[in-house]
Structure formats: C-alpha cells, structure tokens
Structure 1
Amino acid sequence: MSLRRFGKIMLPAMLALWLTACGINAIPTAEENAKAKWADVQNQYQRRADLIPNLVATVRGYAEQEREVLVEVTNARARATSVNVSPEQLTDPAAVEQFSQAQGALSQSLGRLLLVVERYPDLKSNQNFLALQSQIEGTENRIAIARLDYNRAVQDYNTEIRTFPSIVGARLIYGAKPMVPFQATSPGAEQAPKVEF
C-alpha cells in the first residue's frame, strides 16, 4: 500500500475521529436538553398561572374582606405571565433575572393568600379550596423539580462547552455561550418562611 493511498484513507478517518472528540454532537445535544428543561420550567409556571384564577374565584366567595390580597395575587399573576424567556435568551442573565423576579413575586403573593386561609377556618373546610390548595402545592413542587432539572442540564451544557476537547468545537463551530442557571431572586429566599398565627 502506498503512502499516498494510506493518507487518503487515514486522513478522513482521523478527521472524523477529531470531530467526534470535539463535541460536534455532544454540544447541540446538551444545548437542546437544556432548552427542553427550560420549556418544562415554563410549562410548570403556566400550569400555576392557569390554576390561580380558579383559586382566586374560590377564595373570593369565602373571604370578601381580604380583597386586597386577592387583587395582589391577580396582579402578580398578570405580571408573571407577561414576562417570557425564549430558549435563545437563556444566555442573557438580565432576561432570566426578570423572569425569576416576576415568578418570585407571584410566589410571595400566593404565600400571603395561603396565610389568609389560616385566618378563616370555614375557608379551609371548603372542599374546592382544599383541592385547589393541594394543586398549588403540587404545582410548586413540580416547579422546584423543573428548575432543578433545568439547572442540571445547564450545568452539563456549560461544562461541555468549557472542557477540552469540546471547547474547540464549541468556539470554532458553534460560537457557544454559557447558559444562565435559574436562581432564587426573592429577598430572603434562602431562608425558610416563618408562619405565625
């Protein structure tokens, strides 16, 4: 076998091996996984936003005197649903921060609404409200899990584009930028809430 023929065979094989080692497939796979996890986060927030009108309507029937809290929840929901982050904006810390703040304000409003429930025992005994309260609790848990899954996917993606040999493909082929993980933005979010009666 001649050297020239050997080179024609080995050069494409080595090029294919090099491209495989540069994360040519791993980078878009990790990026798409992170985008899918972000869609899951948004889905869970949408689920919560859809439940809130039902919760507010149920509570309104039992707690007219707490209209201010109900209005606050309704307004917070409107603000939270007006802020969206597309997959292309996941590398923009300001966009993710704005989304996080809007969702944090809604979480705080829901917390105050649930405190109203503690003040009115007859409201707690209403089966509709108990079902909605359970749905909100489940939704908040789903949101927490979706955010955790998103942060893990972002960590995997960011690690992939920053480590050798994938960094070569990330910079030369994709121009990849790190994605922004979801972070708690509510003041005092790092501390457990105190409920006082």
Structure 2
Amino acid sequence: MGLVITLLCLLVVVLVVVGYAVGVYNGLVRARNGYKNAFAQIDVQLKRRHDLIPNLVEVAREYMRHERETLEAVIAARSGAVNAQAKAAANPGDPAAMAGLAAGENILSQTLGRLFALAEAYPDLKANQNMMQLSEELASTENRVAFARQAYNDAVMAYNNKREVFPSSVLAGMFNFAPAAPFEVAEPGERDAPKVQF
C-alpha cells in the first residue's frame, strides 16, 4: 500500500512539472507570436510610408529641376529602406535585421528632411495641393510608424522578459527561443517625424 501511495505521489509531481513546463513553453510561443504580430503592424505602416515617397518625389521633381541630386538621394534611401524592411519582415526580432531596418529608416528620414528643407525655397511647390496632401499623409504615417514601433518594442520586452526569467530561461534555452531585438532609432533627434511646414 505504501508503494502505491509513493508511486501516485511521484506521478502527481511529474504531471505537475510537465504541466508547468507545457504552460511555460506555450507562454513563450504566445509572446514570440505577439512580437511578430506587432512587427507586422510596423511593416504595414512602413510600406505605406515607402509607397508615398515616389509620389512626393514626382511632385517635387517638377518644381525642383536643379535639385536632382537630392531627389535621387531620396529614391536611393527609399530603396535601401525597402530592402532593409524586407529583411526584417523575413525575420522579425533578429538583431542584425532590426539594426539594418533602423539604419535604413534613419537614412530615409534624413534625406526626406533635406528634401523638405529644400522645398522651403520653392514657394510654388510649398503651395502645390498635391505636395501639401502628400506631406500631410507622410506626417500621419510617421505617427503611425511611431505607435507601431512602440507596440512592437513593448511586445519584444515582454517576450525577452519571459524568456530570461527563471525557470522559463531553462526551457527557452532548450527550445532555442532566441532573444528579440527592439526597433530603435539610432539618434534621439531622429525620433521625431520630419517637420513639414507649408
């Protein structure tokens, strides 16, 4: 009789440990899926941003014929940002992909800033209805990107916290739950949306 009770107690302990491990594993999977979903929201907004830029450049091109170098720099920066976005979308949270995305978006923001600064010297361009509308849409998209980036970074923090605390860290290591990288803008001055004043 004592052996049966010991075996039952041992079986209950094993079932509790296995149940706990399954719960921890499922929590890690949910957290990983959460940050990947949050990145998908960034991806949508970045695609919208990148789609607006060629239209903006096309409107500006008619007025800024002597600023070809700046317009080409914006297009090149957009291309780099689109490539970086594709790499990050293929592997959200990967530190190298997220660093590449941040660098690409920083360069794009800087070149857009130069474009808007030059646009100030062209009164007809500033008054152009299409330019004003595109600039407004771009500013709105920049705000959406910032909100999506914050949601993604929060999801990454929750996932990383979950995978680093004990005893979850043991299971995370056993099942290769790699750390996720946040989407950070490199320079504090670059965190703001480009200033658009028309």
TM-score, reference length from structure 2: 0.84
Q: 2:88 aligns with which of 85, 96, 109?
A: 85
Query: Which structure 2 residue ranges, 5 or more long, are not aligned?
Result: none
Query: Which structure 1 residue ranges, 5 or more long, are not aligned?
Result: none
Bigger Cα displacement from structure 2, 180-189 vs 147-156: 180-189
Letter in 1 for 2:44: N
Match of 2:100 in 1: 98
SS in 2 for 1:85: helix
Match of 1:119 in 2: 121
Identity of aligned residues (%): 38
Match of 2:165 in 1: 163
Aligned mates of 1:52, 1:11 — CA distance in 2: 60
Does the 8 Å CA contact 2:45/2:145 hold for their aligned counterparts? Answer: yes
Instruction: After superposition, give the CA deviation of every residue in 1:8-27 in whole Å (9 maximum; x if it has no partner).
Output: 86256424442255x12110
Aligned mates of 1:57, 1:81 — CA distance in 2: 18
Match of 1:145 in 2: 147
Q: 1:132 aligns with which of 131, 134, 138?
A: 134
Q: 1:155 to 1:72 in 2, by over 3 A?
A: same
Instruction: Give runs of aligned pairs for residues 51-62 of structure 1, distance below 5 A.
Output: 51-62=52-63
Does the 8 Å CA contact 2:39/2:92 hold for their aligned counterparts? Answer: no
Q: 1:190 to 1:49 in 2, by over 3 A?
A: closer
How many residues in Structure 1 have an aligned counterpart in Structure 2? 192
Instruction: After superposition, give the CA deviation of every residue in 1:137-181 in whole Å (9 maximum; x if it has no partner).
Output: 011111111111111111000000011232232122x22121111
Runs of 4 or more, structure 1, over 3 Å off, are 4-9, 86-89, 186-195
SS in 1 for 2:97: helix
Bigger Cα displacement from structure 2, 100-109 vs 178-187: 178-187
Does the 8 Å CA contact 2:50/2:78 hold for their aligned counterparts? Answer: yes
Match of 1:35 in 2: 36
Aligned mates of 1:128, 1:191 — CA distance in 2: 23
Match of 1:26 in 2: 27
Match of 1:179 in 2: 180
Q: 1:188 to 1:157 in 2, by over 3 A?
A: same
Q: 1:62 to 1:193 in 2, by over 3 A?
A: closer
Q: 1:51 to 1:181 in 2, by over 3 A?
A: same
SS in 1 for 2:120: helix
CA RMSD of aligned residues (A): 2.7
Letter in 2 for 1:129: M
Match of 1:50 in 2: 51
Residue 189 (structure 1) shift: 3.4
